[in-house]
């Protein structure tokens, strides 16, 4: 049951969040890329060199709702598709990422280009470039119902504030191992309103990813993964996970985001072409202990347009 006290508490938390994001003392917000728990199935969003590496057209849609039960909490939708092209070694991809928190929302339109070289019999090295168009909205009008400084309430809404960006990455993989280093946004763009009351600076996010697949027996595979993210003005992020695949169909595992959250992961291969993955995060911070926070939920659906199933030895685990 939602009581008056619960509503009051949620409203208070949102007020605190908005004050943090829109401080009136020329506060600069170090803007970060969207966060994913199932990054191992959404690699092209953080590394353009991954584009086309699956060997066929691949389409994935991801939805993430963070801090369930908290009004104004982060919410992310991602859609991407990528494929190798007719030219040897070339891959192309398109991504749309929409990220919303409180009265702010931002949308990225990305084009990814990769070029892959064969370094050995079963190893490939890819180089990638990303071109982005970024649209930023800040709806100051939504602050009217809260006890926020009147200077903020009187600001004009910022709509479709455009800024371009570029990114780059490298990605190396074999049939069992992968590793990559990337910077999806290389330009540090500062967004501001006309009175310069508040600013939001898009900082460089540096990603490192790696993982390995072991065959424990003919029916069971084990894949540990690691993601690290470094961004100026925010804590160093380390994500580790351990996933198991049974009978080439069922995937289960756990993940830990250092000093932030524990996660449970589940995946199912509906067919050779279609995969669905679910993740649930429980924060280990003080926010995670709050009664109005029911954790974070994430779902991803991916479809691979595999031309010849008879040549498919086993489904890719990354």
Query: pLDDT per residue over 29-62, tens digit each?
Result: 445 688 899 999 999 999 999 999 999 999 999 9
Give CA separation, 115 vs 24, 89, 94, 185, 210, in Å.
46, 5, 15, 19, 20
* pTM across the whole model: 0.84
pLDDT exceeds cutoff 90 at 148: no
As a whole number, mean pLDDT of residues 121-143 equals 89
What is the average pLDDT across 103-117?
94
Instruction: State the pLDDT at residue 19.
Output: 45
Please, are residues 41 and 277 in contact by the beta-carbon 8 Å criterion? yes
Lowest-pLDDT range, 20-34, 196-210, 233-247? 20-34
Q: Where in the chain are the domains?
A: 3-21+39-311
Question: What pLDDT score does 24 carry?
Answer: 35
The verdict on domain 3-21+39-311 having CATH code 3.40.470.10 is no
- Predicted pLDDT at 234: 81
Mean pLDDT across the stretch 66-74? 82
Share of the chain above pLDDT 90, in %: 57
Q: In this predicted structure, what is the pLDDT of residue 16?
A: 45
85 versus 4: which is more confidently predicted? 85
Is residue 4 over pLDDT 60? no
State how far Cα 144 lies from the chain centre.
Answer: 31
Q: Does the pLDDT of residue 144 top 70, yes or no?
A: no
**Predicted pLDDT of residue 146:** 52
Give 68's Cβ-side CA count (13 Å radius): 10
- Average pLDDT of the chain to the nearest whole number: 83
Q: Which two tokens stand for residue 60?
A: 């994935």
- 239-297 pLDDT, tens digit per residue, is 999 999 999 999 999 999 998 899 999 999 999 899 999 999 998 877 655 666 788 99
**Predicted local distance difference test score (pLDDT) of residue 266:** 97
Q: What pLDDT is recorded for position 83?
A: 96
Q: Is the pLDDT of residue 13 over 60?
A: no
The per-residue pLDDT for 57 is: 95
Residue 189's pLDDT band (cuts 50, 70, 90): confident
Residue 310: band (very low, low, confident or very high) from pLDDT cuts 50, 70, 90 = low
Distance CA 180, CA 169 (A): 7
Burial degree of 160 (CB within 10 A; 0-12, 13-18, 19+): exposed
More confident call, 218 vs 317? 218
- Which tops the pLDDT comparison, 37 or 15? 37
Determine the pLDDT at residue 226: 96
């Amino acid at each position: 049951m939602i009581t008056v006290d619960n509503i009051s508490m949620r409203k208070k938390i949102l007020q605190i969040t908005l004050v943090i994001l829109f401080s009136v003392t020329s506060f600069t917000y170090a803007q970060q890329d969207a966060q994913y728990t199932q990054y191992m199935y959404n690699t092209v969003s953080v590394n353009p060199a991954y584009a086309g590496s699956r060997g066929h057209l691949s389409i994935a849609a991801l939805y993430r709702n963070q801090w369930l039960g908290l009004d104004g909490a982060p919410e992310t939708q991602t859609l991407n598709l990528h494929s190798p092209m007719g030219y040897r070694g070339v891959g192309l991809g398109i991504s749309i990422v929409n990220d919303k928190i409180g009265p702010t929302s931002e949308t990225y339109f990305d084009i990814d280009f990769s070029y892959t070289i064969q370094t050995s019999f079963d190893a490939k090295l890819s180089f990638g470039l990303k071109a982005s168009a970024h649209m930023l909205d800040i709806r100051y009008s939504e602050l009217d119902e809260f006890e926020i400084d009147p200077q903020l309430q009187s600001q004009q809404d910022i709509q479709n504030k455009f800024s371009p960006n570029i990114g780059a990455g490298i990605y190396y993989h074999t049939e069992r191992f992968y590793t990559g280093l990337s910077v999806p946004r290389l330009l540090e763009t500062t967004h501001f309103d006309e009175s310069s009351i508040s600013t939001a600076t898009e900082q460089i996010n540096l990603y490192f990813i790696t993982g390995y697949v072991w065959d424990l027996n003919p029916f069971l595979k084990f894949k540990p993964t690691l993601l690290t993210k470094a961004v100026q003005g925010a804590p160093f992020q380390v994500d580790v996970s351990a996933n198991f695949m049974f009978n080439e169909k069922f995937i289960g595992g756990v993940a830990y985001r250092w000093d932030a959250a524990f996660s449970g992961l589940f995946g199912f291969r509906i067919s050779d072409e279609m995969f669905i993955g679910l993740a649930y995060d429980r924060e280990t911070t003080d926010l995670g202990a709050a009664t109005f926070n029911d954790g974070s939920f994430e779902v991803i659906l991916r479809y691979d347009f595999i031309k010849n199933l008879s040549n498919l030895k086993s489904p890719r685990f990354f």
